[in-house]
Chains A and B, each alone.
Chain A
Amino acid sequence: MAGNVLISIEKLNVEFKKDEATVQALKDFSLKVFEGEFVCVLGPSGCGKTTLLRALSGLQQHSGGKLSILPPLNPTAIPVTQVFQDFALFPWRTVRKNIEFPLEIRGILPDQRVAISSQLISLVHLDGFEDAHPKELSGGMKQRVAIARALATEANVLLMDEPFGSLDAQTRNLMQCELLEIWKKTGKTIVFVTHSVDEAVFLADRIVVMTSRPGTVKESIDVDIPRPRDRTSQEFIRIRGKVLAELQEEFEKTVSRERFCEN
C-alpha cells in the first residue's frame, strides 16, 4: 500500500479493571494502517480485538503508548466510526431516521439529510424499506442500515467488530461481497475484527494475527489475491493455511492456560 498512514498505533497499552483485578488487554501493540486499506484482525477469544477497536473509537481509554488518527478534511465529519455485531440500531427510528442520526448531529439541514440518506439507502440496497422500523428487518438488513448509518458520519475509518458474526452463513457471504462493493465505492479505510479465517482471507488486504492476552501483533500477513476472490483457489487455501497455522499456536496457548486455571 502506497498511500498515507491513516492510523498509527505505537506501543499501545490498555488495561481495565475487572472484579477488582487489573487486566492488561493490550500490551505494546503497534500497527500502521494506510488510507483505503482493508485490515482484518484475527486472534484467539479474549485477546483484546474488541478492546483494540474500542481504543480506536475512543470508547476505551488507553494507559500508555500513542494512538493517532488523521482527522478528516470535512469539519463536520468525525475521524472514526464503528459498526457493532448486535447492529445497535435505534429501535424507535425508521431505517431513514437511523441513517440520518449522524447527519442531525452534524447539523445538516433536513432537505439535504433526505438527499444523503436516500443515496446511502440505495448504496446498501434497502430501497423501499425507508420507513420500516428495525424490528421489521432481517439480521442482514439491520446490518446494512448500521453500515449506511456509519457511512453518514463521513468518517475515514470504519471499525467493524464481528459485524457479520450473528448472521447465517449464506447472508454472511452475501454481506461480505456487498461490503467489498461499498468499500470500493467509498474508499473507506476498514479495520475489521472477525473470528473467521475464511472471512478474513476473503476480505482483507492484510490480516493482523494477534497473540493471546495481553494482545499484541503476532504476525501481519498480506493477502495479495486479486478480487473477486475464489474461496476454492490454490492461493486462497494457501494463505488460509498460513493464517490458521499462526492462529493455532495462540489457540494452544489459550487452551493450556485455561486448563491450568481449571486444575
Chain B
Amino acid sequence: MKGPEKKGKLARITGNALVSRIIFGAAGAILFIVFWEYLLEPIARGFQGNPDLNIPTFSESLGALFSSFVDTGGTWNEYLMGDHLMLSLGRVLGGFAIAVAIAAPIGLLMGYIREFEHFLFPINELARPIPPLAWIPVAVLLMSGELKVMFICFLGAYFPILINTIHGVRSIDPVLYDAAKTLGASRWTIFFKVVVPAASGSMMTGIRIGLGIAWMTIVAAEMIGSSNGVGWYIAVTTFSMTRYDLALGAMMLIAFVGYAIFLMMEVGERRFLKWLGMF
C-alpha cells in the first residue's frame, strides 16, 4: 500500500478552491496590468517602428475614466460619464426586457407545440446568423431615436433566450407529461403547470446570457444610432478627438459594469432555482 498522496508545496497552499481562486486570479490580473503599464507601449513602438507612438497606460486610462465622471473632457456634450452610463443601461434594459417578453413565451410555445415550431423555425434560423449590428439598416428604416439602439440590444438578447427556452422545454423528462396526463391535466394545464416551471431553469440561463450579449452590443449600437451613451463616448473620443485614454477608460467601465451584471444575474439565477426547489 502506498502512503497518502504527497502534495506539492503549491497544492498545499492552494488546497482551498476559494483561496486558490483569489491568489491566482490576483496574480493573473496583476501580471496583465504590469504588462499594460510598462511593456505594451515599448513593444508596440518596436512593432510599428514608430518611436513616437503613444499608447495610454493602465493608470492613465483609469485616471481618464475617473476624470470623465466629473469633466465632459471636451466631448461637445453636456453629459458626464455617469449620465452616459445611465442612458446606456436604460437602453440595454429596455431592449432586454422586450426580448424577454417576446422570446420567452415564443420559446415555450415553440418547444411545446410542434406545428408552431415548424411554423417559426425557418424565419428564426435564417435571422439567427445575422449579427445584431447588421440589422442597423432595418433599425434606421423602421425606428427612430432611442428605439433604434434598443432594437439592436433586443436582437442581441432575443436569440439566446429563445434557444435556451426551447431547449428547456425539449429536455423535460417525458414521464412528467405522462404523470400530468394520468393525474387529469389537460393540454393547456400541462403547459402552464408543467412546461413553464420545468423549462424556467433553462430559460433563466438564456436570460442571463441574453443580458450579457445585449450589454456587449450597446457600444456598436450607440456608435451608429445615438448621440450619447458609453458606446457613443468611445466612438467620439476615438474617431473625432483621438483621446484614446478616455476611450480606454470607457472600455474599462464597460468591463466592470458587464461583470457586475453577470454576477447579479448569476446570483439571481441561483436564487430563482432555489426558490423553485431545483437547485
Contacts and interface: CB of A to CB of B under 8 A. Distances in A.
Interface in B185-208: 185-186, 189, 193-194, 197-198, 200
B72 to A, nearest CB: 51
Contacts of B180: 101
A92 B182 contact: no
A58 interface: yes
Interface stretch (B53-61, B74-82, B171-179): B171-179
B21 interface: no
B197 A80 contact: no
B278 interface: yes
Given A92-B198, A92-B277, A94-B277, A105 B189 contact: yes
Contacts of B194: 90
Interface in A76-96: 78, 80-82, 84, 86, 88-94
A91 B189 contact: no
Nearest to B184: A78
Contacts of B179: 82, 84, 88-90, 146
A86 B180 CA distance: 14
Contact of B182 (A57, A91, A106, A135): A57
Nearest to B176: A88
B278 A91 contact: yes
A153 B277 contact: no
Query: Of residues B175, B194, B200, which shows the largest number of chain A Cβ atoms within 10 Å of its Cβ?
Result: B175
Contact of A91 (B183, B184, B277): B277
A133 interface: yes
A81 B185 CA distance: 11
A74 B239 CA distance: 77
B278 A101 contact: no
B182 A105 contact: no
A102 interface: yes
Contact of B183 (A81, A133, A134, A135): A81
A146 to B, nearest CB: 8
B178 A59 contact: yes
Contact of A59 (B176, B182, B185, B276): B182
A149 B179 CA distance: 10
B102 to A, nearest CB: 24
Interface string A92-122: 1110000001101110000000000000000
A6 interface: no
Nearest to B181: A59
Given A105-B185, A149-B183, A92 B197 contact: yes
Contacts, number: 70
A150 interface: yes
B175 A93 contact: no
Given A101-B193, A104-B193, A153 B184 contact: yes
Contacts of B184: 78, 81, 102, 105-106, 153
A102 B184 CA distance: 7
Nearest to B276: A92
A159 B183 CA distance: 12
Contacts of A81: 182-184
B277 A133 contact: yes
Nearest to A76: B184
A86 B175 contact: yes
B276 A88 contact: no
A124 to B, nearest CB: 16
A155 to B, nearest CB: 8
A93 B178 CA distance: 17
Contacts of B175: 84, 86, 88
A149 B198 CA distance: 18
Nearest to A81: B182
Contacts of B276: 92
Contacts of B183: 78, 81, 101-102, 105, 149-150, 152-153
Interface in B89-106: none
A151 to B, nearest CB: 11
A94 B275 CA distance: 11
Nearest to A80: B182
Nearest to B273: A92
A169 to B, nearest CB: 24
Contacts of A80: 182
A82 B185 CA distance: 13
B189 A90 contact: no
30 contacts: A58-B181, A58-B182, A59-B181, A59-B182, A78-B184, A84-B178, A86-B175, A88-B178, A88-B179, A90-B197, A91-B198, A92-B197, A92-B198, A92-B276, A92-B278, A93-B277, A94-B277, A101-B180, A101-B183, A101-B193, A105-B184, A105-B186, A105-B189, A133-B277, A134-B277, A146-B179, A149-B183, A152-B183, A153-B183, A159-B182
Interface of B: 173, 175-176, 178-186, 189, 193-194, 197-198, 200, 276-278
Interface of A: 57-59, 78, 80-82, 84, 86, 88-94, 101-102, 104-106, 133-135, 146, 149-150, 152-153, 159
